[in-house]
A and B are shown apart, each in its own frame.
Chain A
Amino acid sequence: MVQKVLEVEELKVGIKDEDGGRIAIVNGINFHLHKGETLGIVGESGCGKSMTSLSLMGLLPAGVERHGGDIRLGNLNFNSFNKKDWRQIRGKKIAMIFQEPMSSLNPVYTVGAQINEMILNHERVSKKEARNRALEMLKLVGIPRPEQVLNEYPHQLSGGMRQRVMIAIALSCNPEVLIADEPTTALDVTIQAQILELMKKIQDQLHMSIVLITHDLGVVAEMCDRVIVMYAGEIVEESLVVDLFDQPSHPYTKGLLASLPDIHEQKEYLSSILGVVPAPGKMPAGCRFAPRCSFAHERCKEVPPLFEMENGSKVKCWLYEDGEAEVAAT
C-alpha cells in the first residue's frame, strides 16, 4: 500500500452570515493524497475547490472558516494547530502556487529576496547559503541567466518566468505537498505546457505530492493520477484519471467531458451543461446537481451517498445504486 501523505475527512467550510449562522461552501468532503501522486480537483467556478485548497493551508479569507472535519498531514492533525504551528508548516510542509503569476510576486522586492525569505524563514542557514539555494532553485525551474534574475524585480520577467519563480519559491524548502491552484490558467498555451512539464519533472526529482486545482480537463489528463470532481461543495465523483476519461460516471462529469471540443469531430455548437452552480445557501434539497441533470428522477430528491464502483471509482449518484447496470441503459 502506498503511503498516504495527506488525509482530509469530512471537511466543512462555511461563510459566517449576519445572523450568526453559516452558509456551507464545502460540505463534508473526504479525500487523500498518496506520496508522489498528483490529485486533480476539478469543477466549475464556485464549486468550492479553491476554498478546499486554502483550508489545507489555513489561509481561508476573512469571514470564511473551517467548521468541521479533520486534515492530517503524516501524523500532524491540523485541528490542534495554533497560529505558530500553521506558520511552521506553511511553505515547509505544504506549499502553494497561485493562479496569477503576474500578481503573485511582490513588485517591490527582488526575486532573490523573495526566495530567500522563504528559505530563511524555515531553515537555519546563513544569508549566503540561502542565496546559493535560491540560485539552485532558479536553475532547477529552468530560468535562464539565474544569477542576474536573482537581482531582478518581478516586472522585469514574463508571466511564464514569474510562474517558474513562484514554483522555485514554493519548492525551496522541499515541501511534502504542493498545492497548485490553477497554476497555468493565466498563461499562454505553449507556456502552460512548459510549466506543466516542469512540475512533472520536479515532482519526479523530489518525490513530492501535488494537489492540482483546475477547471481545465486537458491539464487533468496531462498531469493527474487521480481526480476528484467537485460540484456545489461536494465530491460527486472520484476515480483514476484513465477511468474518468474512459468511463465518466456522474452525469455532471459526463457533461463536463461532453463540453470539451473534439478535434476529430465538427460540431456547430459545443454542448454545455444548462444552468449554473447554485449559490451557497441556496442549495437544492437532495442531489445538488438534480436541477441541471437530464437523468434526474424521483429518487434524486434524497441526498445520494457515494457509491463505490467495480473499478474503484466512487460516484455520488442514484443511478449507480445497483452498480453499473442502469448506466448501460442510459
Chain B
Amino acid sequence: MIAYIIRRLLHTILVVFAISLIIFFSVRLTGDPVSVMFQAGEPTKEAIAEVRKNLGLDEPLYVQYGIFLKGLVTFDFGESFRSGMPVIDLIKEKLGATLALAFGGMAVAIMIAFPVGIVSAVKRGTGVDFFGRIFSLIGISFPNFWLGIMLILIFAVNLKWLPSSGFESFKHLILPSITLGMILSGILARLVRSSMLEVMNQQYISTAKSKGISDFAVIIKHAFRNALLPTVTFLGLQFGALLGGTVIVEQIFSWPGIGRLIIDAINQRDYPVIQGGVIFLAVIMVAVNLVIDLSYTLIDPRIKIGGSRS
C-alpha cells in the first residue's frame, strides 16, 4: 500500500511536469500580455520594453520556463502581472470558496440522486421509475445558467429568502450548490439506477431475500453497497471537475472561486496566474483520483491495491 502511494506520487510529478510544459507554451500562443495592458493611448516602445523587462518577458523562452519550473519546486508560482500579488496567495484566497462550492454541489447531488436512482431501480418500470428518469433527463438537459438565474429570480429576488451573490455565510452557499448539484444529480441518478439494476439481478440478492431480511436491508445493505463502486469513481472525477469547471455558476453567483480567477487571468493574459491555477487544479485532480483508488479497497474487499491478489 505504502509503495503504491509512493509510486502514485512519483507519477504525479511526471503529470505536473507534462502539464507545466503544455500550459507554459500554450499560454504564450495566445498573444503578448503587454499589448492588452495599455488600454488608453499608444504606448511608446520604451514603455513596452520597460514593462516586458519588469515582468521577465524579455528573457528567452527556455530561461522563462526554467524560472517557472524552479518556482514550481518551491511552490512559488510567481506574481500576478496585474495585481502584483503572489499567485499562491491568490489561489489560497479563492480555495475556500471553491472547495465549499464543490462540496456543496456534491452534497446536493448525492442527497437527490441516491434516493432517486435507488427508488427508480427498485420500482423499475413503474410510474415512480418514469418520474425518476424524467427527473434525470431534466437534470442532464437543463443549462445551469438558466437554472441559476431562475433560482436567483425566485429565492433571492421575489421571495428574498436567500442572497444572490458572493460568499459570506452558509446561506450564500445554498443557491449555487443547488444549481451545481441539480445538474450533477441528473447524471448521477441515472448511474445509480443502472448500477443498481445490474446488481439487483445478481444471485446474491436472491440469497439475501431468501434469508427473510427486510426489503430495505436487501436494497441498501446488499445491493447498494455493491452498486457504489462505479458511482464513487464518477463522483471522484466530478469532484475534480467541480473544482475548476464551475465557471458559469461562479459567474452567475459572483462566486470568488478558482475557476473565475483563471478565466479572468486568461482574459488578461496574466501568465503566472493561469500557470499557477492550472497546475494547482491538476495536482488536486491527481490527488482526488488517488483517494478514490484507495477508497475502492474499503468498498470492495476483492480489490487489493499494490499487493498481489490473495
Listed in ascending order, the chain A residues whose CB lies under 8 Å from chain B are: 57, 59, 62, 83, 86-92, 95-96, 98-100, 103-108, 117-118, 121-122, 153, 155-156, 166, 169-170
Q: Which 5 pairs, one residue from A and one from B, show the smallest C-beta to C-beta distance?
A: A90-B212, A103-B203, A91-B212, A106-B204, A87-B212
CB-based contact A98/B203 at 8 Å: yes
B230 to chain A: closest CB distance in Å? 14
Stretch touching chain A among B78-86, B266-274, B296-304: B296-304
CB-based contact A96/B203 at 8 Å: no
CB-based contact B211/A117 at 8 Å: yes
CB-based contact A166/B207 at 8 Å: yes
Range of interface residues on chain B? 20 to 34
Residues in A neighbouring B214, C-beta threshold 8 A = 87
A90 and B302 contact, Cβ closer than 8 Å, known pairs A62-B124, A108-B225:
no
Asked whether B208 is an interface residue with its Cβ less than 8 Å from the other chain, the reply is yes
* Complexed CA–CA distance, A156 and B309 (Å): 10
- Contact flags B73-100 to A (C-beta < 8 A → 1, else 0): 0000000000000000000000000000
CB-based contact A103/B202 at 8 Å: yes
CB-based contact A98/B206 at 8 Å: yes
From the candidates A57, A122, A153, name the one contacting B301 in the complex (CB within 8 A): A153
* Complexed CA–CA distance, A299 and B193 (Å): 53
Residues in A neighbouring B202, C-beta threshold 8 A = 103
A92 and B212 contact, Cβ closer than 8 Å, known pairs A106-B204, A106-B226:
yes
Residues in A neighbouring B212, C-beta threshold 8 A = 86-92, 118, 121-122
* Complexed CA–CA distance, A95 and B207 (Å): 10
Asked whether B54 is an interface residue with its Cβ less than 8 Å from the other chain, the reply is no
Residue of B nearest to A166 (CB): B207
CB-based contact A107/B209 at 8 Å: no
A-B contact sample (4 more), CB < 8 A, given A95-B210, A96-B210 = A83-B215, A98-B206, A104-B203, A107-B301
- Contact flags B262-287 to A (C-beta < 8 A → 1, else 0): 00000000000000000000000000
Residues in A neighbouring B125, C-beta threshold 8 A = 62
